[in-house]
A and B are shown apart, each in its own frame.
Chain A
Amino acid sequence: MPLSKSNATRRKVLKLTAASAALPLVHIRTGRAAGKVSIAFWDHWVPTGNDVMKKQVDAWAAKNQVEVQADFITAVGQKNILTIAAEKQAKTGHDVQAFPTWEVHNNAEAMEPIDDVMKQLTGQYGQVNSVCEYLAKIKGQWMAVPTSSGTQYKGPCGRISLLKEHAGLDIVGMYPAKSEHTKASDDWTWDAHLKAAEACKKAGKPFAIGLGTTTDSVDTAGTLFKAFGAELVDKDGNITVKSDKVRAVLEFGKKLVPVLPDDAVSYDDASNNRALISGHSALIWNPPSAWAVARRDAPAVAEDCWSFPAPKGPAGRFEPYLPYFWGVWSFSKNKSAAKELITFLMQRDNVQERCAVVLGYDVPPFQSMLDFKVWDEVGPPTGTVYNYPLRPFHEATAHIAALPAPPEIAVQIYNRGTMPTMLAKLKSGQSVDQVISWANDELEGFTR
C-alpha cells in the first residue's frame, strides 16, 4: 500500500528507525531473548541443596525463556578452583561462576563489575558485612555478589553434656535459642575456652582443633589471632609480625596447643568432624555439617550438640566467616541475563527456600534475612543452630583470617596456613622467637 505523504513524514521515519534500533537493546536487557546462560554452582554437600537450586533456576529459565545450563562443581580436591583457573586462562566457560572466599580477588581482572546488581540487592535487603566487602569490592567496585549458597560461619559446636560435666560450662544457658544476651556469654572468653579445653583433655575428650593448613585450622587460628588484635600484615601491606600482640597470642598459644589432640598438626577439614561424630571430642570449630552428619550416623551425639559464637579476646569477639560469591566473567556472552539470574536467585524467598532445605547451613549475606525460621526450628535438639549465624546480641564481628592485610597478601597467608603453622611450631617445641622469625621470613615472600 503506497504511503501517503501525510503518513510518512521525515520526523516519523526517524522516530520509527530510532525505536526499532532501540528494540534489541531493550530485549537483551530483559534477558528474554538472551538465548543461553551457563552457571557453575558450588556442589552442595546436602544433595537436596542442588535440587532446590536447580528448581529455582528452571523456574527463572522458563519464565524468561532463556536456556540455562546449571552445573554443580564440587569443592572436593578443589575442583571448583581448578575450573575457575582454567576458565580464566581459556577466557571461555560458564557465564557465572561460584567464587569461594579469595577467588574474586584472584580473578578480578577477568570479571565483570556487578555494582548494578549489588545496588538493587542492598536497596532491598540492606548492607552486607565487612568481610564480604573486603573480599569482593575491589577499587570501589563490586566484582561479585555475596551469596548464601556455601557461605558459612565456623564457630564452636560443642557437646552439651560433656562440656557441662567436665568443664562446668553450660553452653545452652550461655547461648539459649532465643534473641537474648546473657551475662554468661560475657564470660565466654579465650581464657575460659582454654580452661574448658584443659578439663576436657584431662577427661579424654579433647577439643578437636586442628593445626593443619586446611580451612578449618586456618579459620580457628585466624579468629584467635584477631581476638588478641594480632595482625601479621597490616592493611597497608607492612609486616607486623614482630609486635607485642603477636607475641601475646603466641604466649597464649603455648598454653593452648598442649591440650589439643596429639595429631592436631595433621588434621584436615574432616578430622574434626570425625572426632565429634565419633564421640571422641567435646568441642570442634565447624559449621553445622558435622552435627548434620551425626544426626544421620550418630543420633545420640547429634542430640547433644549446640552451636554457639566464638570466645572473646582482649580485642573483641570474632567469628570465622567464609563467604561464597557469584560473579560474571568479563568474557561472558550474556552478561545481562547472567546478572538477572543472580538477582533472581538472591531474592529473599529463594534464599529462604534454599536455606531451609540445607538445615540452615547456608548463611545469607544480608542481616535482614537472619529471621528465617529454619534456625529456630531444626533439631534435635531444637535450636541447636539458632546461634550459628551471627546475631546483633552476640556482639561479635565476622572475620576471615589474615584480614586486614591487602587481599593479594592475605590469600597467601590464608592458603599457606601461616597462622596454624605458627601454632603447630609451638606444639613441636619451638620458642616464640623462633616462630616469629620463621613467620617473618614467610611473610617477606608473600609481600613481594
Chain B
Amino acid sequence: MADGSSVPIGAMAPASGAARQKGSLHKLARHRSTTAFLLCLPLILLIAAFVVYPAFYAIYLSMLNKKMTAFVGLNNFAFLLKRHTFQLVIFQSCLFAITAVVLKALLGFIIAHLMHNIPGGNQKIWRGLLLVPWVIPLALSTLSWWWMFDPSYSAFNWILNQFGFDNVPWLGVGWIARACTIVVNVWYGTPFFMIMYLAALKSVPEQLYEAASIDGAGAVQKLFFVTLPMMRNIIAITVLFSLIVTFADFDIVRILTSGGPQDMTHVFATYAFQVGIQSGDIPLGASVSLFMFPLLAFAAFFVLRGVTKRSKEIAA
C-alpha cells in the first residue's frame, strides 16, 4: 500500500466483493438519468394508459364514419366546419375560454398583490379562505350556482325582488346565460391564478424593488419594469394551463345550461357529449372534442419555448 503497511493476501477478498456490489449499486444510483427514469416510470405508465392511449384512440375514432365501419380521413372535421351550430360552438368556446382566462388572470393578479401586502398570519387565513372555491369539487359548487340561477326559484331573483326589481331569466336568455357560465368559471378558477401569482411575487428579490426605488421608480414603474418581467414565465405557464383546461370545460355548462338556450352556451365538450354519446355518433363527437387540439398544441409549443428561452437567459 502506498503508506507502506501491508495486508495479507486474501484478507480483503470478501470485503472487495461487497464493495464491488455496493459500487455497482452506487454506480447505478449515480447514473441519475436511470434513477430519474425509474422513479418516473409509474407515472409514465399511468399517463400512457390513461392519456396517450385514449388520445390516440380518439384521433382514430374521429377518422371513422358514423357506424365506425370505414375510414373517412378528415371528413368529419370538414363536415363540422360547414354546420352553423358548430360554428356557433367554436365562437362560444373561444368566447368562454378567452374571456374567462383573461378575467381570472386579472383578478388573480390583483388579489395576489392585495394578499402579498397583508402582513403576518392574517395572510394565511385569507389565502385559505380564497382557495375554497378551487378546493370544492366543481360539480358540487356549480350545482349551488345553478340553484342560485334556477329558472323559477333563483336566490338572486329573490334578492332583486326584495328591492323591487323584476326577475332576470339568468339561464334563459342567450347572452345572460353565456355571462353566467363565464362568471362561474372565473369564480372557480381565480384562486388558482391567485396562488400561482402569489408564489411568483414572493420569489421576486426585494433588492430589485429597493434598487428601483433608489432609481426613483414609482409603484406603476415597479409593476411594469420589475414585477411583471420577473413574473412573465409563471404568467405564461398559468395562462396556458388555464386556457387548455377552460377550453376543455364540461361541468359548468353541462350543469348550468346543458348548452341551451338554443345552443347558445355549448362548448366543445358539451357539444361533443351531445353529438357523440347522446346521439350515438361517437366519431363526430370525437372530432368535436379534438377540434382545438392542434391550435392548443401550437400555442403550448410557442409558450413553452418562450419560457425555456427566458429561463436560460436568467440562468446565464
Contact = CB atoms under 8 A, between A and B. Distances in A.
A266 B151 contact: yes
B152 interface: yes
B84 interface: yes
Looking at A82, A106, A266, A421, the one whose CB has the most chain B CB atoms below 10 A away is A266
A56 interface: no
Interface in A209-243: 211-214
Interface stretch (A272-280, A376-384, A387-395): A272-280
Interface in B150-179: 151-153, 167, 169-173, 177
Contacts of A263: 151-152, 167, 169, 171-172
B157 to A, nearest CB: 10
B278 interface: yes
A213 B278 CA distance: 12
Interface string A188-217: 000000000000000000000001111000
Contacts of A274: 152-153
B85 A442 contact: yes
Given A271-B151, A274-B152, A442-B85, A411 B279 contact: yes
Contact of B280 (A105, A213, A448): A105
Given A263-B172, A266-B172, A412 B279 contact: yes
A162 to B, nearest CB: 17
Given A265-B172, A445-B83, A415 B278 contact: yes
A416 B279 contact: yes
B282 interface: yes
Contact of A262 (B153, B172, B282): B172
B257 to A, nearest CB: 7
A428 interface: yes
Nearest to A267: B151
Chain A interface size range:
35 or more
Contacts of A105: 280
Contacts of A411: 279-280
Nearest to B167: A262
Interface stretch (B116-124, B185-193, B221-229, B259-267): B259-267
A417 B281 CA distance: 16
A193 B82 CA distance: 40
B202 interface: no
Contacts, number: 88
B67 A109 contact: yes
A85 B258 contact: no
Interface in A148-188: none
A448 B79 contact: yes
A82 B85 contact: no
A379 to B, nearest CB: 27
A325 to B, nearest CB: 15
B274 interface: yes
A265 B261 contact: yes
Given A415-B279, A448-B79, A278 B153 contact: yes
A58 interface: no
A424 interface: yes
Contact of B282 (A85, A211, A213): A85
B66 interface: yes
A323 interface: no
Contacts of A266: 151, 169-172, 177, 257, 260-261
Contact of A424 (B84, B259, B262): B262
A89 B151 CA distance: 37
A109 B258 CA distance: 29
The binding surface of chain B is classed by DSSP as: loop
A109 B262 CA distance: 32
A261 interface: yes
Contacts of A102: 280
A213 B274 CA distance: 11
Nearest to B261: A265
Nearest to B139: A77
Contacts of B263: 421
Nearest to B172: A266
A425 interface: yes
A297 interface: no
A280 B167 CA distance: 15
Contacts of A214: 258
Contacts of A417: 260
A149 to B, nearest CB: 21
Contacts of A438: 84
A433 interface: no
A102 B260 CA distance: 21
A133 interface: no
B277 A82 contact: yes
Interface string B60-88: 00000011000000000001000111000
A441 interface: yes
A280 B259 CA distance: 26
Contacts of B282: 85, 89
A412 B152 CA distance: 29
B84 A441 contact: yes
A6 interface: no
B66 A408 contact: yes
Q: A-B pairs with the 9 shortest C-beta distances?
A: A106-B280, A263-B151, A266-B172, A266-B171, A265-B261, A415-B278, A263-B172, A415-B279, A412-B279
Interface of B: 66-67, 79, 83-85, 151-153, 167, 169-173, 177, 257-263, 274, 277-282
13 contacts: A85-B282, A106-B280, A107-B280, A211-B261, A212-B261, A213-B259, A261-B151, A262-B169, A263-B151, A266-B151, A415-B278, A424-B260, A442-B84
Given A81-B277, A213-B259, A263-B169, 9 more contacts: A85-B277, A85-B282, A102-B280, A109-B67, A213-B260, A262-B167, A265-B261, A415-B278, A424-B260
